[in-house]
Amino acid sequence: MKSQIVLAIALVLGGCGKKSDSSAAASASAEAPVAEAPPGPPFTGTLTLALVMSSGSLVRPLQPWSDAFARLQAKLGKPTHVDGKRYTWAAMEGDDCAYLLVEQEDGKQYKVDGLVVGGVSKPAKSTKGSADNGRDKCLEAMGTDLPPEDPEAQPAPSDDKPIAVSFVVANGIKARSRWVGKPVTVEAQVAGIGGIAVTLADVADKQATLTCIVTGQADKSGDRTTRSAAAGGAEVDDKLLGKPVVAKGTFKIQRMMNGRGEPSVAPQLEPCAITAK
């Protein structure tokens, strides 16, 4: 979404050419910005697909966050889902799901004071059975992509003692409020390597797997390999395939959509570092 912000800056700079005093005076009134009415109080009604889909021009990149957020809430109410600096407003009617995603950024990187609007997604709507890229984001915001938590499921360990991959698979998603964002160490066997994504299989039950998004690889001495700037992570030695390893990472839930437009989830460690045993 940063490309939208760069484009916004380019458009502003592109219109900054010099004008003669007379032409500037003649066009001053035409160029004077029209003051926007202040936003009203936060919307407290039911958020509908129509409201979400009509919000595409509500805010713009580089707009002061305080003003933009007030306008978003005046039309759409409180965000449906907040993930760090990503704010999502979503609504469902039957199987149809629509969402708007707005990102908050620090204006310093764009030479603007204070917090500003970063990327703004175009409002998107999808229906059951569609494989739209945004449907998983919409369902995630609505909280309908995951089953209820199981109070009997085990929490993430409080120490860094290695655990089995099967334990993570059996409990991580079912007790996600006690796993997401927690450090996890597993003993595993490398079952697949795809760039920086490494598939880790349980030592005893090869059907139990999770993905490790590698940011660093270490040998027995603890020395890290050279990071791969192109891949955004660390190169993984193919010689590790089929070998036992210890992986340390932060637990998260990987969300995906299958070809039928149905959401699916899987446990994941990201960022993650692998050490050969």
Question: How many distinct structural domains can be found in the chain?
Answer: 2
Buried b (16+ CB within 10 A) or exposed e, 15-43: eeeeeeeeeeeeeeeeeeeeeeeebeeee
Higher pLDDT, 86 or 27: 86
* Same domain for 22 and 137: yes
Quick one: 21 and 88 in the same domain? yes
Residue 144 has a pLDDT of: 80
| Per-residue pLDDT tens over the stretch 240-277 | 999 999 999 999 998 876 666 667 889 999 999 999 98
Residues 172 and 114 in one domain: no
pLDDT given at position 218: 42
> Is residue 151 a part of any domain in this protein?
no
What is residue 65's predicted lDDT score, i.e. its pLDDT?
98
pLDDT the model gives residue 143: 81
Same domain, 136 and 40: yes
Q: How far apart are CA 267 and CA 31, in angstroms?
A: 54
Same domain, 7 and 134: yes
Q: What average pLDDT does this structure show over 132-138?
A: 79
Residues 104 and 195 grouped into a single domain: no
pLDDT at 182 over 70: yes
Over pLDDT 90: what percentage of the chain?
61
Q: What is the pLDDT of residues 41-82, one digit of tens each?
A: 999 999 999 999 999 999 999 999 999 999 999 999 999 999
Top pLDDT among 183 and 129 is at 183
Tell me which residue of 252, 244, 251, 253 sits closest to 276, measured CA to CA: 244
Residue 229 scores a pLDDT above 80: no
Note whether 14 and 109 are same-domain residues. Answer: yes
Q: Which of 97-101, 219-223, 233-237 has the lowest mean pLDDT?
A: 219-223
Determine the structural domain holding residue 271 and report its residue range. 163-276
Rounded mean pLDDT of 150-161? 95
122 and 170 co-located in one domain: no
Read off the pTM: 0.58
Domain co-membership, 128 together with 10: yes
| C-alpha distances out from residue 67 to 42, 76, 88, 265, Å | 13, 14, 17, 36
Higher pLDDT pick, 109 / 7: 109
Looking at the structure, do residues 167 and 135 belong to the same domain, yes or no? no
